[in-house]
A and B are shown apart, each in its own frame.
Chain A
Amino acid sequence: MTTTAPVTQPLDVAALRADFPILARTVRDAKPLVYLDSGATSQRPRQVLDAERKFLETANAAVHRGAHQLAEEATDAYEEARAKIAAFVGVGVGEVVFTKNATEGVNLLAYALSNAATAGSEMERFTLRPGDEVVITEMEHHANLVPWQQLCQRTGATLRWLGVTEGSDPGRLDLANLDELVNERTKVVAFTHQSNVLGTVNPVTPVVARAREVGALTLLDACQSVPHGPVNFAKLGVDFAVFSGHKLLGPSGIGVLYGRRELLEAMPPFLTGGSMIELVKMEETTFAPPPQRFEAGVPMTSQAVGLGAAIDYLNAIGMDRVAAHEHALTEAAISGLQAIDGVRIVGPAEVVDRGGAVAFVVDGVHPHDVGQVLDSLGIAVRVGHHCAWPLHRRLGIPASVRASFYLYNDLSEVEVLVEGVREAQRFFGTA
Chain B
Amino acid sequence: MHLQSMYQEIILDHYKNPHGRGLREPYDGESFQVNPTCGDEVTLRVKVEGEKVTDVSYDGQGCSISQAAASVLNDLVVDRTVDEAMTTMTAFVELMQGRGQVEPDEDVLEDAVAFAGVAKYPARVKCALLGWMAFKAALADAGVKPNGAEVQ
Contacts and interface: CB of A to CB of B under 8 A. Distances in A.
Interface of A: 28-29, 366-369, 372-373, 375-376, 383-385, 389, 392, 398-399, 427-428
A369 B1 contact: no
A366 B7 contact: no
A385 B62 CA distance: 12
| Leading 7 A-B pairs by shortest Cβ distance | A368-B63, A384-B38, A28-B1, A366-B63, A385-B39, A376-B1, A398-B61
Given A368-B65, A427-B3, 12 more contacts: A29-B1, A368-B40, A368-B63, A368-B127, A369-B64, A376-B2, A376-B3, A384-B39, A389-B39, A399-B40, A427-B7, A428-B12
Contact of B39 (A369, A375, A392, A428): A392
A342 B7 CA distance: 22
A399 B3 contact: no
Interface of B: 1-3, 6-7, 12, 37-41, 61-65, 121, 124, 127
Contacts of B37: 384
A373 B39 CA distance: 19
A367 B61 CA distance: 11
B100 to A, nearest CB: 15
Nearest to B121: A372
Contacts of B40: 368, 398-399
Contacts of A389: 39
Given A366-B63, A366-B64, A368-B127, A398 B39 contact: yes
Nearest to B16: A429
A399 B39 contact: yes
17 contacts: A29-B2, A366-B62, A367-B63, A368-B38, A369-B65, A372-B3, A372-B7, A373-B3, A376-B2, A376-B3, A383-B38, A384-B38, A385-B38, A399-B39, A427-B3, A427-B7, A428-B12
Contacts of A385: 38-39
Given A28-B1, A366-B63, A372 B38 contact: no
A399 B41 CA distance: 11
B1 A375 contact: yes
A368 B127 CA distance: 10
Contact of B124 (A372, A373, A376, A384): A372
Contacts of B6: 372
A100 to B, nearest CB: 21
Contacts of A375: 1
Contact of B63 (A29, A369, A392): A369
Nearest to B62: A366
Contacts of A367: 38, 63
Nearest to A384: B38
Contacts of B127: 368
Contacts of B63: 366-369
Contacts of B1: 28-29, 375-376
Nearest to B37: A384
A375 B37 CA distance: 17
B72 to A, nearest CB: 17
Given A376-B3, A389-B39, A368 B124 contact: yes
Identify the interface centre among B6, B12, B38, B121: most chain A CB within 10 Å of its CB: B38
B91 to A, nearest CB: 24
A375 B122 CA distance: 14
B41 to A, nearest CB: 8
A369 B40 CA distance: 12
A371 to B, nearest CB: 9
A427 B1 CA distance: 14
A376 B127 CA distance: 18
A141 to B, nearest CB: 14
A25 to B, nearest CB: 15
A381 to B, nearest CB: 13
A102 B25 CA distance: 47
A385 B124 CA distance: 15
B63 to A, nearest CB: 4
B137 to A, nearest CB: 21
Nearest to B3: A376
Contacts of A398: 39-41, 61-62
B85 to A, nearest CB: 27
A392 B37 CA distance: 13
A367 B123 CA distance: 13
A107 B6 CA distance: 40
A178 B149 CA distance: 53
Nearest to A399: B39
A373 B7 CA distance: 10
A147 to B, nearest CB: 17
